């Protein structure tokens, strides 16, 4: 059922995740998993609005869920009202297959590995599902679909942009975990093993829920507006059918969280290999004072992604959880990126064949076929909007 606000409505939806998952991802080979997501729609958008439509795909980090982005999405819809060149149209925020509501739908299915690149394919499955069933999130001349992810979600949006570059306009990765130093393997193995002991997924009452998330967990530094939404979507009430006693459980169990953490070790190598081959604009948003990623990670990424693709974004303050600790700062950077993408979209209009040749299909074919036959391959693709 849709939730309403003045600016947008929200509905919870689901679709199948990617098929052909990594070995060990599910207990039975070729098991189908479900992906649950929230879809937001702009209630005030007028069909006569000529601004570039921005559509967003949000992916969360390990241990979090789709609602960790809820406050940011609200702020973005508010900012959209005053934006000059862009307007926020549709948004989806996705629960990874082993997290949140997706974890509930996949209970008894998930295996001992959670390959993050499978998560990227799941994002693509969500977008394809929306393309096919609603016609939304189609990246085109006047509508741009942008991927946004944090940490593990930053990995997923980066990989998705590599797998399906024409499905998306650009990708924004906030403190992404996409770099690995093999010499640090033993250190991180010990770290992740230690992390498992700190994760709690069952609580006796609401006071225990609050104490854990707000005073003890990794997320305790998050702004209340962000953390409140995250907790509300993560913790569920469970009643004993025999006694009627009530206790509380996290949808994402400690085992599932640990699996996601430890699976970074097998997910990062393929990511390192694809970084030089990214082809759509990639915004690498990193905090100068963050310590979760190796110190050299941001500069390595900025130097490895092709020069005409990489867009470094440095944040002066904040930790790895900057999106939760300083949501307004992160949202402000998002709006700058949207303005930049909208400006480029507008400048690119004349290069689209249907505009250049006023929709005359025979002239479009003749023009570009001629270029192809002459070996003018660069000009043949000249209608592609610039990065």
* CATH code where residue 323 lies: 3.40.50.1820
In a domain, 239, yes or no: no
> Mean pLDDT for the chain?
93
Q: What is the pLDDT of residue 44?
A: 87
Give the whole-number percent of the chain exceeding pLDDT 90. 79
* Residue 9: other Cβ atoms inside 10 A: 13
In a domain, 130, yes or no: yes
In a domain, 231, yes or no: no
Q: How many domains does one find in the chain?
A: 2
In a domain, 109, yes or no: yes
| Across 311-318, average pLDDT | 96
pLDDT at residue 26 is higher than 70: yes
Q: Are 253 and 235 in contact (CB under 8 A)?
A: no
Of 91, 147, 121, 85, which Cα lies nearest the Cα of 282? 147
Q: What is the pLDDT of residue 191?
A: 77
Sign of the CA dihedral running 357, 358, 359, 361? negative
pLDDT at residue 143 is higher than 90: yes
Of 293, 336, 337, which Cα lies nearest the Cα of 318? 293
| Across 89-117, average pLDDT | 98
In a domain, 40, yes or no: yes
In a domain, 258, yes or no: no
Residues 143 and 176 reside in one and the same domain: yes
pLDDT at residue 4 is higher than 70: no
In a domain, 280, yes or no: yes
With cut-offs at 50, 70 and 90, classify the pLDDT of residue 3. low
pTM for this one?
0.94
Strands (E), 277-317: 282-287, 310-315
Residues 272 and 375 reside in one and the same domain: no
Distance CA(129)–CA(72), nearest Å, equals: 24
Residues 43 and 144 reside in one and the same domain: yes
Residues 313 and 364 reside in one and the same domain: no
Distances (CA, A) of 109 to 33, 103, 266, 313: 8, 9, 20, 38
| Span between the terminal Cα atoms of the chain, in Å | 39
Instruction: State which residues form the domain around 357.
Output: 353-380
In a domain, 240, yes or no: no
Give the phi and the psi of residue 7 in degrees, each rounded to 5. Answer: -100, -30
Of 18, 5, 211, 229, which Cα lies nearest the Cα of 120? 18
């Amino acid at each position: 059922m849709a939730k309403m606000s003045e600016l947008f409505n929200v509905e919870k939806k689901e679709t199948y995740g990617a098929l052909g998952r990594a070995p060990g991802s599910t207990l039975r080979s070729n098991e189908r998993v479900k992906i649950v997501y929230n879809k937001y729609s702009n209630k005030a958008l007028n069909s006569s609005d000529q601004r570039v439509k921005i559509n967003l795909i949000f992916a969360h980090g390990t241990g979090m869920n789709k609602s960790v982005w809820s406050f940011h999405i609200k702020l973005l819809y508010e900012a959209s009202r005053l934006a000059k060149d862009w307007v926020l149209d549709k948004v989806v925020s996705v629960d990874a297959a082993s997290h949140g509501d997706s974890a509930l739908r996949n209970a008894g299915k998930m295996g001992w590995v959670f390959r993050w690149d499978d998560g990227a394919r799941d994002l693509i499955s969500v977008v394809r599902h929306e393309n096919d069933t609603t016609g939304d999130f189609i990246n085109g001349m006047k509508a741009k679909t942008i991927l946004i992810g944090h940490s593990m979600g930053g990995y997923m949006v980066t990989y998705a942009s590599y797998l399906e570059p024409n499905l998306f306009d650009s990708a924004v990765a906030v403190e992404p975990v996409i770099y690995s130093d093999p010499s640090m393997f033993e250190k991180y193995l010990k770290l992740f093993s230690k992390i498992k002991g700190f994760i709690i997924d069952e609580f006796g009452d609401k006071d225990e829920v609050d104490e854990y998330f707000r005073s003890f967990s990794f997320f305790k530094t998050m702004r209340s507006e962000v953390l409140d939404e995250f907790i509300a979507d993560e913790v569920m009430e469970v009643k004993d059918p025999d006694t009627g006693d009530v206790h509380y459980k996290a949808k994402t169990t400690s085992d599932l969280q640990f699996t996601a953490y430890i699976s970074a070790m097998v997910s990062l190598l393929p990511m390192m290999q694809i970084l030089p081959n990214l082809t759509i604009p990639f915004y690498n948003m990193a905090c100068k004072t963050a310590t979760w990623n190796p110190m050299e990670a941001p500069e390595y990424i900025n130097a490895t992604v092709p020069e005409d693709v990489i867009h470094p974004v440095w944040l002066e303050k904040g930790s790895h959880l900057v999106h939760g600790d300083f949501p307004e700062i992160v949202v402000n950077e998002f709006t700058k990126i949207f303005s930049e993408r909208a400006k480029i979209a507008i400048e690119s209009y004349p290069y689209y064949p249907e505009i250049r040749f006023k929709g005359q299909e025979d002239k479009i074919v003749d023009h570009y076929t001629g270029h192809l036959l002459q070996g003018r391959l660069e000009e043949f693709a000249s209608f592609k909007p610039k990065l």
